Structure 1
Amino acid sequence: DDPFVTVKQGQLQGSILKLLNDSPYFSFKGIPYAQPPVGDLRFKAPLPPTPWSGIRNATEHGSYCTQYDMNTNQILNGSEDCLFLNVYTKSLHPHAKIPVMVYIHGGAFMSGSGDTDTYGPEFLIQHDVILVTMNYRLEVLGFLCLDTPEVPGNAGMKDQVLALRWVKENIAKFGGDPDNVTIFGESAGSAAVTHHMISPMSKGLFHKVIAQSGVCIQDWAIARDAKERAFRVAKVLGKETTDTQELLQYLRSVPATDLAKMTYKTRTLDEKSRGLPMYFVPNVEKKFNNVEAFLTQEPIDALLSKNLNKVPLMIGYNSAEGLLMLEEQLKKAQRYNDNSTYLVPRELVPKLTENKMKEFGSRIMKFYTGDLGMGNDTAQGIVDMNTDLHFSYNSHRFAHLYSNLNAPVYMYRFEYATDLNIVKNFLGYSNMPGACHADDLFYLFYNELNKEIYTSQERLHPIVYDLTKLWANFAKTSPSGREYLALNEVMTPGRRADATRVDLWNNMYCEAAVPCIAKSNL
Structure 2
Amino acid sequence: MYQYIPKCSKMLQNCFLGLIALCQFTTVICEVSNDGSTRPSLDISQGKIVGRSQTTLGSGKVFHSFQGIPYAEPPVDQLRFMPPKRLTNWEGVLLADDDGKKCPQKDAIFDSTPHGQEDCLVLNVYTPIENLQTDKSKLPVMFWIHGGGFTSGSGSTDFFGPDNFMEENVVLVTTNYRLGALGFLNLEDDLVAGNMGLKDIVMALNWVKDNVGSFGGDGNQVTIFGNNAGGAIVSLLTHSPMAKGLFSKAICQSGVYKLPQLFNIKQRHRAFVLAKMLNKDPTDSKSLLRMFNKLSAFDFVKGAPKTFDSTEVRDVQKNIVPFGPSVESGVNGTEVFLSTIPEDVNELPNPNIPMMFGFNSKEAIVYLRSLINSPEILDKLNYNFQFSLPFRGLQFPYNSDDYIKVAEEIRRFYFEDGVIGNGTLDGFVSYASDEIFYPVDKTVSEHLQVSKAPVYYYRFSYEGSLNFYKRAVLNDADSVSGASNGDEICYLFLCKRLKHVYDELYLNEEDATDLNVSRRMVRMWANFAKFGDPTPEKEDDLLEGLKWHPASSTRHDFLDIDNNFQMGQHPGSQNIAFWDKIFNTYSKLEKSANVKVEL
| TM beyond 0.5 | yes
Structure 2: how far apart are the matches of 1:247 and 1:288? 18
2:394, 2:583 within 8 Å by CA — same for their partners in 1?
no
In the superposition, the TM-score normalised over structure 2's length comes to 0.82
1:336 aligned to 2:392?
Answer: no
Deviation at 1:77, TM superposition (A): 3.2
Count of equivalent residues: 513
Match of 1:519 in 2: none
SS in 2 for 1:184: strand
Structure 1 residue 333 displacement after superposition: 2.1
The one-letter code sitting in structure 1 at the alignment partner of 2:256 is V
Show the counterpart of 1:314. Answer: 356
Contact 1:340 1:358 in 2 (8 A): no
Name the amino acid aligned to 1:287: G
Verify the 8 A CA contact 2:258 2:391 in the aligned structure 1.
no
Would the aligned equivalents of 2:351 and 2:450 in 1 still touch at CA under 8 Å? no
Aligned to 1:5: 42
Q: For the structure 1 residues 150 and 339, does the alpha-carbon distance in structure 2 shift closer, same or farther, using more than 3 Å as the test?
A: same
Deviation string, structure 1 residues 221-254 (Cα, Å, up to 9, x no partner): 2222111100011000111233111011111110
Contact 1:99/1:129 (8 A) holds in 2 = yes
Question: What is the rounded CA distance, in whole Å, between the counterparts of 2:308 and 2:350 in structure 1?
Answer: 32
Give the aligned partner of residue 35 of structure 2: none
1:241 to 282, 287, 304: 282
Task: Indicate how the Cα distance of structure 1 residues 183 and 281 shifts in structure 2: closer, same or farther if over 3 A, else same.
Answer: same
Distance 2:403 2:324 in 1: 26
Which residue of the other structure, out of 501, 508, 514, is the alignment partner of 2:582?
A: 508
Decide whether the 8 Å contact of 2:191 with 2:286 is kept in 1: no
1:325 to 361, 364, 367: 367
Relative to structure 1, the CA distance from residue 69 to residue 291 in structure 2 (aligned partners, 3 Å threshold; closer, same or farther) is same
1:117 aligns with 2:158: yes
- Superposed CA deviations along residues 17-47 of structure 1, whole A, max 9, x for unmatched, are 0112112100001111000000011000000
Which residue of structure 1 aligns with residue 236 of structure 2? 195
Q: CA deviation at 1:211?
A: 0.6
Q: Identity rate of aligned residues, in percent?
A: 36
Map of 1:476 onto structure 2? 530
1:345 is displaced (CA, Å) by 4.8
In the alignment, what sits opposite 2:143? 102
Match of 2:252 in 1: 211
CA distance in structure 2 between the aligned counterparts of 1:344 and 1:64, rounded to whole angstroms: 32
Please identify runs of 4+ aligned residues in structure 1 that moved more than 4 A.
Answer: 304-309
Q: How far off is 1:327 after superposition? A: 4.2
> What letter matches 1:220 in structure 2?
Q
The secondary structure found in structure 1 opposite 2:214 is helix
Task: Point out the more displaced range, 439-448 or 218-227.
Answer: 218-227
Residue of structure 2 in register with 1:444 after alignment: 492
Q: Where do 1:274-313 residues align within 5 Å?
A: 274-299=317-342, 301-303=343-345, 305-306=347-348, 308-313=350-355
Q: Identify if the C-alpha distance between structure 1 residues 195 and 262 changes in structure 2 by more than 3 Å, giving closer, same or farther.
A: farther
Say if 2:238 and 2:350, in contact at 8 Å, map to a contact too. yes
1:462 aligns with 2:527: no
Contact 2:463 2:483 in 1 (8 A): yes
3-state SS of paired residue (1:343): coil
Residue type of the alignment partner of 2:384: N
* Structure 2 counterpart of 1:29, one-letter code: Q
SS in 2 for 1:340: coil
Does 2:478 correspond to 1:405? no
Deviation of the 1:156 alpha carbon = 0.4
Q: Is residue 16 of structure 1 aligned with residue 16 of structure 2?
A: no
Does the aligned pair in 2 maintain the 1:349–1:357 contact within 8 Å? Answer: no
User: Matched residues in 1 for 2:349 and 2:560: separation?
Assistant: 30
Secondary structure, in 3 states, of the residue corresponding to 1:510?
helix
1:518 aligned residue: none
Counterpart residue identity of residue 419, structure 2: G
Q: Could you tell me whether the CA contact under 8 Å between 2:178 and 2:200 is conserved in 1?
A: yes
Tell me the distance in 1 between the aligned counterparts of 2:574 and 2:427.
Answer: 13
**1-side partners of 2:215 and 2:567: how far apart?**
36
Q: Residue 423 of structure 1: which of 451, 455, 469 is its match?
A: 469
Q: Structure 1: 5+ residue runs without aligned partners?
A: 516-522
Task: Calculate the aligned-residue CA RMSD, in Å.
Answer: 1.9
- Within 5 Å, give how 1:22-421 maps onto structure 2: 22-91=60-129, 92=132, 95-273=136-314, 274-299=317-342, 301-303=343-345, 305-306=347-348, 308-328=350-370, 330-345=375-390, 347-350=392-395, 354-388=400-434, 390-406=435-451, 407-421=453-467
CA distance in 2, matches of 1:411, 1:375: 33
The offset of 1:308, in angstroms, is: 4.9
**Partner Cα separation in structure 1 for residue 418 and residue 326 of structure 2:** 39
Provide the secondary structure at the position in 2 that maps to 1:336.
helix
The TM-score, its normalising length taken from structure 1, stands at 0.94
Q: 2:571 aligns with which of 490, 497, 500?
A: 497
